[in-house]
Amino acid sequence: MRRFFLETLSSDLSKGASLDIPEELIHRIKNVLRINDGDLVEFIDGKGLLVKTEVTGENRNKIFKVRSIENIKKDKPILGLAVSLIRRERFDLLVEKAVELGVDVIIPIETEYSRPFGPESYPKLIERWQKIADQALSQCKRIFKCRIDNVTKIQDAINNKNFDEKMFFHFGGEKLNNDSIKEGRSHLFIIGPEGGFSPNEVDLFNKNNIKFYSLTDNILRTETAAFYVLSVANFLN
């Protein structure tokens, strides 16, 4: 069953009502995905609302009749990535795959060894990455939206109060193990560029008692490190 993200989805819907769908999404459903009369289609709002509909009507006038409505409560602590800015096409991939691996928040951070964009480009990049995250949300059949935060400094990521546990990844730390990811607590994984964090940045983490770990004996690309740690977190939980 296909699932689509629709941020304007309303919890005031009732069974049998017709769902109001934007024209752009109708075009995709009708002309790209070729969904037919009688097919079932799900819609989510990214906040826990899941609406199952049945497609009725002729090809030129698709109607989505509500069959069931469910409000789902998030029962897992949030998982976040604070990750160094890298080239756009690589960050695009990072966002898409991180959403598939269950991340709830992605925080792009400026680091000394990687600043590929000027600050004037940040708003459009955040808008782009949020759109990619929303599209991935539908494709991987998740319920809850992944938020892309504004580009921030490392100190701001360290001071973020939304996470119980924070850790960064650097050579020389202990390897992730069963005790690294604490069950029932929210985690923020802080990942730098291929060149790693600068001595000043490592000193900043240490002064704030942020523990660091190594992932492998190999040098990983930033996006690979993100996928690795999210996969380990999923496995350990």
Output the domain CATH number for residue 137.
3.40.1280.10
- Point out the domain boundary residue: 52, 71, 90: 71
Total of domains in the chain: 2
Give the pLDDT confidence of 125-160 residue by residue, as tens digits: 999 999 999 999 988 888 999 999 999 999 999 999
Give the pLDDT confidence of 34-83 residue by residue, as tens digits: 777 888 889 999 999 999 999 886 555 678 889 999 999 988 889 999 99
Give the pLDDT confidence of 16-42 residue by residue, as tens digits: 888 888 888 877 777 777 777 888 889
Helices in the chain by DSSP H: which ranges? 23-27, 88-100, 122-139, 154-158, 199-207, 222-236
Ranking 44-48, 146-150, 176-180, 185-189 by mean pLDDT, the lowest is: 176-180
165 and 232 belong to one structural domain? yes
User: Which pTM was predicted?
Assistant: 0.88
61 and 42 belong to one structural domain? yes
Per-residue pLDDT for 110 more than 80? yes
Q: Are 65 and 18 in contact (CB under 8 A)?
A: yes
Domain containing 223 equals 79-236
For residue 61, the model assigns a pLDDT of: 67
- Point out the domain boundary residue: 71, 101, 125: 71
217 and 117 belong to one structural domain? yes
Neighbouring residues of 71: CB distance < 8 A, sequence distance ≥ 6: 11, 48, 49, 50
Any idea what the Cα angle at residue 142 is, between residues 189 and 237, rounded to 5°?
45
- Point out the domain boundary residue: 42, 71, 100: 71
Q: What is the DSSP letter of 175?
A: E
